[in-house]
């Protein structure tokens, strides 16, 4: 029995299904982008570079940048909170056309919330 049977819990979600599972904060960042705020900075004398970390005030993703002494960005990488990324086969966290999917989920939620609040 080399192949494990896929369960409903372990099946890969479609982009729309994944978008529907996101918290409002995560959805906002996925749709519109992050709101970066300074978090920490250190100087590495051996590497002659700055290690700067920015933190998104909404979803708490950390953007790690390595900058040379002139301020030029040498490296950008990200540290995401749990459940921010989708773990799809081949490309974790990325979907083709993903911003469209996230925009549609956001406006659908907003319409649902505004319809519900308008009825009260």
In a domain, 69, yes or no: yes
In a domain, 119, yes or no: no
pLDDT tens per residue, range 85-98:
886 544 555 665 67
In a domain, 53, yes or no: yes
Instruction: Give yes or no for residue 114 having a pLDDT over 70.
Output: no
In a domain, 102, yes or no: no
In a domain, 2, yes or no: no
In a domain, 114, yes or no: no
Residue 101 per-residue DSSP state: H
In a domain, 42, yes or no: yes
Give me the number of domains the chain comprises: 1
**Side-chain half-sphere of 79: how many Cα atoms within 13 Å?**
9
Structural domain range at position 67:
34-85
pTM, to two decimals: 0.73
Instruction: Give yes or no for residue 112 having a pLDDT over 90.
Output: no
pLDDT tens per residue, range 30-77:
999 999 999 999 999 999 999 999 999 999 999 999 999 999 999 999
In a domain, 48, yes or no: yes
């Amino acid at each position: 029995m080399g192949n494990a049977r896929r369960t409903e819990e372990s099946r890969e979600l479609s982009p729309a299904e994944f978008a529907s599972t996101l918290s409002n904060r995560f959805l906002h960042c996925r749709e519109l982008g992050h709101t970066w705020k300074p978090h920490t900075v250190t100087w590495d004398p051996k590497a002659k570079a700055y290690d700067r970390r920015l933190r998104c005030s909404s979803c708490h993703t950390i953007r790690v940048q390595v900058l040379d002494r002139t301020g030029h960005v040498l490296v950008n990488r990200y540290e995401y909170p749990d459940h921010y990324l989708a773990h799809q086969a081949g490309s974790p966290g990325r979907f083709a056309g993903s911003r469209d999917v996230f925009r549609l989920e956001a406006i659908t939620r907003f319409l649902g919330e505004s319809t519900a609040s308008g009825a009260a």
